[in-house]
Amino acid sequence: MTDARAYRSGEPVALLVATHLAVCAACRQTVKDMEAAGGALLAKVEPAEMSDNALRSVLSRLDETSAERPVVPRGRGDVPSPLRAYIGDDFAKARWIPVAPGLAHLPLMTRGGARARLIRARPGAGVAVHTHRGEEWTMVLTGSYHDETGQYLPGDVQTTTPMVLHQPQADEGPVCINLAVTDAPLIFQGLLPKIVGKVFGF
Q: What is the mean pLDDT of each run of 10 residues along the chain (202 residues)?
A: 52 91 84 75 74 74 49 60 92 93 94 92 94 94 95 94 94 96 91 85 85
DSSP state of 155: T
Closest residue by Cα to residue 164 from 140, 141, 189: 189
Give the integer Cα–Cα distance in Å for 143 and 141: 7
pLDDT value for 16? 93
CATH fold for domain 1-202 = Jelly Rolls (2.60.120)
Helix (H, G, I), strand (E, B) or coil at 51: coil
Radius of gyration of the chain (CA): 19
Closest residue by Cα to residue 182 from 200, 164, 160: 160
Give the integer Cα–Cα distance in Å for 187 and 202: 9
pTM of the model: 0.77
Extents of the domains making up the chain: 1-202
DSSP state of 188: E
Are the C-beta atoms of 90 and 146 separated by less than 8 Å? no
